[in-house]
Structure 1
Amino acid sequence: MIAQPPPPLKRWITKPFPDSMEQRVAIETLTGSLGVSPFLAALLVQRGVHSYEDARAFFRPEIGHLHDPFAMKDMDRAIIRLQRAMLPGHEEKILIYGDYDVDGTTSVALVYGFLKNYHSAIDHYIPDRYKEGYGISTQGIQWAANNGFSLIIALDCGIKSVDRVAEAKALGVDFIICDHHRPGAELPDAAAVLDPKRNDCQYPYKELSGCGVGFKLLQAFCLHKGIPLEELYPYLDLVAVSIASDIVPITGENRVMAFYGLKCLNAAPRTGLKALIKIAGFSRELDITNLVFGLGPRINAAGRIQHAKAAVQLLLAESEVEADAFAMAINKHNNDRRTFDSTMTEQALAMIRESETMTRAKSTVLFDATWHKGVIGIVASRCIEHFHRPTIILTQSHDKAAGSARSVPGFDVYEAIEECADLLEQFGGHTFAAGMTMPVNNIDAFRKKFEEVVTRRIKEEQLTPLVDIDLPMDFSEIDAKLVRILKQMGPFGPHNPQPVFMTDEVYLANEPIIMKEKHLKINVFQGGSSSRGHTLTAVGFGFGHLASQLQAGKPFSICYQVEQNFYNGNVSIQLMLKDVKFS
């Protein structure tokens, strides 16, 4: 077991206080109209809330704020093709095809689960991660053609599958593509290509998840067929899980769908998700964090360890007995995934630390032919926690090297990989996460070129972990009303993060407590050493190494989030530490 070093030093960046004339007026307006403190009003102005109407839209997103789905390029073509496949007396067999991750499996459960109510000749297909790889596969197309399917709706994949879609067309199989990844230079020759990131698509919101694009297709279907949208809205629980797990911005439409999806999850979750919630041990109201760290990894584990069709079967389960059985199997896969994750992370960190070249590099590219392909993305993220830089973890898949990339805030790893495309067979992804395959013989050349590209592109400050601080705050501002309003600012996630505050001149109220040998718990107050002021409990996961530096009577600074702590039926205010700095 590798001894875990302390977390790397962090940069504290405090956002500018909203102090222009317009912002000061907005703070005064919100203080009066909402009945909140000037401090809370300033926090809202920082997030673009300037009026009572802005606040109402921010705190109470409305389902009516969703955009017209027909504003998306090719949506009319998609509905015409779907309608033709459903013509009475001429029904075609429709295959719902999705990727094997959370976004893909929730997309399939959404579109198949809804359309089967209106079309009986329908089935779903998830490619095998290990036998077929990412995206649309030749094997999947051949299976569709052999089984009489003439229309495939591809979800969370397909935007770069020019050759595969051509193969399908030659076999008499059409495609409707619903994707959210960046397109290549050429679009597939499909019946319709729905992707808000198309250069020629004027859709007003570009950051939908793959499941979100699938939802827009169904929204358009309902509008075209005169189906009440109220029949579709309960499926937003699946969209919320995809939004959380695919780490897309929680702004605009995503915020609306996540807001109502969480309502569905907390009021009346579908049978499969209810079973997953129970086995994850959640007993209180779910938030985005619970989906990211509780439900998402379990759904993902099905495809990482065996086959993702188990995840779709869970999400589509109608009986509690069936759902509980699938949830138990998926939970076991998740436990196995954790074992692989832990072992591989230790091996990867050892490889970096044992090489002076790798330790000093601006990027990490590691390869081990024995590593489990299903968890290499997770291991890349774990490595970034210790070595804060763009990271690619590769393993052998058949006779190729398959890799998963993760990045650091502000650095576009997709563009960096694109510069190395001459060494790759295929690649795809987002700004902060990507996948690729290459010949094993190309790994050393790729490692060298990727390091050159990253060194040229990355800014020095991007190699240091960042703590984004919203506002400095006195402990006197922290009360039950603040906690209640902060909670209403969710759902939190990218582009709407949970607020982080900073307080100087903090003192220990008593001796620090070390929990489980690595976590820190302290009682703190602000002000001079002779005044205990407003004493609060603060917890820092992985901050146990700081206990020896904390001394009674010596001031320090903390940045933190304000949360509720539930323990033995009691609810109290607790600070979750993001970092500590000493004078």
Structure 2
Amino acid sequence: MRWTIKPKHAQEAIDHLSDALKVEDLIAQLLLQRGITDYEGAKAFFRPELSHLHDPFLMKGMGKAVERIQQAMANEENILVYGDYDVDGTTSVALMSSFLMETYPNVATYIPDRYLEGYGISFQGIDFAADNDISLIIALDCGIKAIDQIKYAKEKGIDVIVCDHHRPGGILPDAVAILDPKQDDCAYPYKELCGCGVGLKLIQALGSKQGKTIDDLLLYLDLVATAIAADIVPITGENRVLAYYGLLVINENPRTGIKALIDQTKKRELTITDVVFIIAPRINAAGRMKHGQHAVTLLTETNFAQAKQFASEIELFNTERRSLDQEITQEALIQIQQNQEEDKFTSVVYNENWHKGVIGIVASRLTETYYRPTLVFTKSGDKLTASARSIKGFDIYNALEGCSDCLEQFGGHMYAAGLTLLEEQYEAFKAQFEKVVSETIDPQLLQPEISVDAKIGMHQITPKLMRILKQFAPFGPGNMMPIFMAEGLKDTGYARCVGEGGKHLKCSVYQSGSNPIGGIGFNLGNKIDKVKGVQSFDAVFSLDENEWKGTVSPQLKLRDIR
């Protein structure tokens, strides 16, 4: 691991913020790193308000979208709410359909089959709409590149409203309205909404025409927070407000389906991290293993007994998903080793029998192991399809753009993408992808980095610091949990390996003159020799709390040791 300490801000700026907020220099420094330079900025950060959300009509196309939906309702048209099969897509469909159905009955939902239709708006989905006399499709978390599909819909007399957050291509589809803050000429102030966030802006705009305020939409924010967490979008600006209030709803008054999922986990209070690792994988498992419509059914169910039944079914899908993901990851690792590709700049693996529903997870696992841009391919019909995952600081979407002559289609973000190609193009693409990455990546990025916010002494870890750090949450991209570095730590003699096979490291450490503080290092059991029986060592860690027999104490969550 590379330890990189963030440069310290000018003492003058630290003093100014420290005086304005009456906080220690350490807190002022952490806030400055997050772009907060004055009292008002700090107030907005620590006390997010729903009133901080932007006017939805600032988004290009919003007026047209609202007008077309109002026209559909006035004319008693049938509306189809269409979304992708992942968490962002299914939460978006649940949000939009349940909002519309509060006042209008002629609403159906549609999630494409991952295996038969693939990602995004499908021709089969448009045929379904035509066969059911649907004249308006609201597409969420997809559609920005569905040029041919939306043209086909128009030929069948079906209008489409696109609500997307992926990067647009050079040509836009001929939709009635396109809501996507990443359009070059969209003046919307915040560009990092997830698909469900764009959906929320649309219901916010529709609600304003019915006399509703954002406070009236509060109970939809559990869906938005779940999508923000799962889609790994920055938790800054508007997303921070939505995640903050969405977590409150999840913990205090979640919708029936989410409550049924939480009840299975026995967790008391969920953080964004819990949503990422507990709620999101279960919602995702429906689309991965069976069909995304199961997730929409759960998230829109209002009867708790029925929701519990749906949640139990989804739990089975998730168990099956975990087993497959482990099996395929092992096969992929063996393939990399057998082909002696450990020294390449990329990892590209393929097996026509791998389950399409878990190749994204497998790509993430391989990235953790070899730490390089990774693609995992499987066969889908007569084509190959892949999930792509990147490493910190490298734009995999741009790399795929550099290989577009080999691809049938692709789309996604800087760190995650999906693509399809013809089987005969696989070897050419693999070579070209390696070439593009090797020529454009900074080799230093291939060594995992721990970015350290600040050096601290053990004496600085006080109850007051812990209270303030808690208020930095919710954490995520753009506002990661602060990482600290301490030097000259000593073991109290308590250090030992714990967990299955001694995988984890448990210790108690101090600096000269400080009280000991407990520490836990997950998957750091192999580093016990750097702690036990040595004169001193350095560590990087985040801070959390350990509760034991009713006593709460600070704990170092160790990330690395040297």
For the superposition of Structure 1 and Structure 2, which TM-score range results when normalised by the shorter chain?
over 0.9
* 1:552 has 2:533 as partner: yes
* 1:353 has 2:337 as partner: yes
1:453-493 Cα offsets, whole Å, 9 max, x none, are 00011001110101011000101011222111111111100
Note the C-alpha offset of 1:507.
1.1
Note the C-alpha offset of 1:48.
2.5
1:572 aligns with 553
* 1:204 has 2:189 as partner: yes
1:189-223 Cα offsets, whole Å, 9 max, x none, are 11100000011111110000000000000011011
* 1:495 has 2:478 as partner: yes
1:4 aligns with none
Work out which of the residue numbers 303, 318, 323 in structure 2 matches 1:319: 303
Indicate if the aligned counterparts of 2:182 and 2:191 stay in contact, CA closer than 8 A: yes
2:414 aligns with 431
Work out which of the residue numbers 439, 442, 445 in structure 2 matches 1:459: 442
Note the C-alpha offset of 1:234.
1.1
Q: How does 1:314-463 map to 2 (within 5 A)?
A: 314-356=298-340, 358-463=341-446
* 1:26 has 2:17 as partner: yes
Work out which of the residue numbers 260, 265, 273 in structure 2 matches 1:289: 273
1:280-299 Cα offsets, whole Å, 9 max, x none, are 2312x211101111100110
Question: Structure 2: which amino acid aligns with 1:134?
Answer: Y
Indicate if the aligned counterparts of 1:362 and 1:389 stay in contact, CA closer than 8 A: yes
2:5 aligns with 14
3-state SS in 1 of match to 2:138: strand
Indicate if the aligned counterparts of 1:392 and 1:406 stay in contact, CA closer than 8 A: yes
Indicate if the aligned counterparts of 1:78 and 1:191 stay in contact, CA closer than 8 A: yes
CA distance in 2 between counterparts of 1:112 and 1:145 reads 19
Note the C-alpha offset of 1:267.
1.1
Note the C-alpha offset of 1:578.
1.0
Indicate if the aligned counterparts of 1:522 and 1:537 stay in contact, CA closer than 8 A: yes
Work out which of the residue numbers 81, 96, 106 in structure 1 matches 2:68: 81
CA distance in 2 between counterparts of 1:454 and 1:80 reads 45
CA distance in 2 between counterparts of 1:200 and 1:50 reads 29
CA distance in 2 between counterparts of 1:471 and 1:130 reads 47
1:30-66 Cα offsets, whole Å, 9 max, x none, are 2x3xxx3232232223222333322211100110010
CA distance in 2 between counterparts of 1:568 and 1:132 reads 53
2:511 aligns with 526
3-state SS in 2 of match to 1:327: helix
CA distance in 2 between counterparts of 1:286 and 1:132 reads 34
CA distance in 2 between counterparts of 1:256 and 1:45 reads 19
CA distance in 2 between counterparts of 1:232 and 1:475 reads 44
2:136 aligns with 151
Question: Structure 2: which amino acid aligns with 1:24?
Answer: D
Question: Structure 2: which amino acid aligns with 1:50?
Answer: T
CA distance in 1 between counterparts of 2:287 and 2:247 reads 24
3-state SS in 2 of match to 1:232: helix
CA distance in 1 between counterparts of 2:25 and 2:418 reads 46
Indicate if the aligned counterparts of 1:93 and 1:151 stay in contact, CA closer than 8 A: yes
Indicate if the aligned counterparts of 1:28 and 1:38 stay in contact, CA closer than 8 A: no
CA distance in 2 between counterparts of 1:153 and 1:456 reads 41
Indicate if the aligned counterparts of 1:27 and 1:50 stay in contact, CA closer than 8 A: no
1:411-469 Cα offsets, whole Å, 9 max, x none, are 00001011111111111100000001111121111110000000011001110101011
* 1:231 has 2:216 as partner: yes
Note the C-alpha offset of 1:553.
4.1
CA distance in 1 between counterparts of 2:448 and 2:316 reads 33
CA distance in 1 between counterparts of 2:420 and 2:45 reads 42
Moved more, 180-189 or 45-54: 45-54
Work out which of the residue numbers 215, 226, 237 in structure 2 matches 1:241: 226
CA distance in 1 between counterparts of 2:337 and 2:213 reads 59
3-state SS in 1 of match to 2:554: strand
2:257 aligns with 272
Number of residue equivalences: 560
1:69 aligns with 56
Moved more, 341-350 or 224-233: 224-233
Question: Structure 1: which amino acid aligns with 2:170?
Answer: A
Q: How does 1:88-107 map to 2 (within 5 A)?
A: 90-107=75-92
Work out which of the residue numbers 280, 291, 294 in structure 2 matches 1:307: 291
Work out which of the residue numbers 511, 517, 520 in structure 2 matches 1:539: 520
Question: Structure 1: which amino acid aligns with 2:64?
Answer: R
Indicate if the aligned counterparts of 2:493 and 2:532 stay in contact, CA closer than 8 A: no
CA distance in 2 between counterparts of 1:397 and 1:568 reads 53
Indicate if the aligned counterparts of 1:509 and 1:552 stay in contact, CA closer than 8 A: no
CA distance in 2 between counterparts of 1:74 and 1:551 reads 62
Indicate if the aligned counterparts of 1:395 and 1:403 stay in contact, CA closer than 8 A: yes
Note the C-alpha offset of 1:511.
4.1
Indicate if the aligned counterparts of 1:27 and 1:45 stay in contact, CA closer than 8 A: no
Question: Structure 2: which amino acid aligns with 1:309?
Answer: Q
Indicate if the aligned counterparts of 2:34 and 2:478 stay in contact, CA closer than 8 A: no
Moved more, 538-547 or 447-456: 538-547
Q: How does 1:512-523 map to 2 (within 5 A)?
A: 512-515=495-498, 516-517=500-501, 518-523=503-508
CA distance in 1 between counterparts of 2:494 and 2:335 reads 38
Question: Structure 2: which amino acid aligns with 1:289?
Answer: T
Stretches of structure 1 that go unaligned for 5 or more consecutive residues are 1-9
Question: Structure 2: which amino acid aligns with 1:42?
Answer: Q
Change (3 A) 1:208 1:329: same
Indicate if the aligned counterparts of 1:304 and 1:373 stay in contact, CA closer than 8 A: yes
Task: Give the TM-score normalised by structure 2.
Answer: 0.98
1:222 aligns with 207
1:182 aligns with 167
CA distance in 2 between counterparts of 1:130 and 1:568 reads 49
Indicate if the aligned counterparts of 1:507 and 1:552 stay in contact, CA closer than 8 A: no
Note the C-alpha offset of 1:324.
0.5
Change (3 A) 1:550 1:230: closer
Note the C-alpha offset of 1:79.
0.7
CA distance in 2 between counterparts of 1:404 and 1:17 reads 38
Indicate if the aligned counterparts of 2:384 and 2:421 stay in contact, CA closer than 8 A: yes
1:101-139 Cα offsets, whole Å, 9 max, x none, are 000000000000111011111110000000100000000
CA distance in 1 between counterparts of 2:28 and 2:11 reads 14
Moved more, 236-245 or 221-230: 221-230
CA distance in 1 between counterparts of 2:24 and 2:201 reads 39
Work out which of the residue numbers 283, 289, 298 in structure 1 matches 2:282: 298
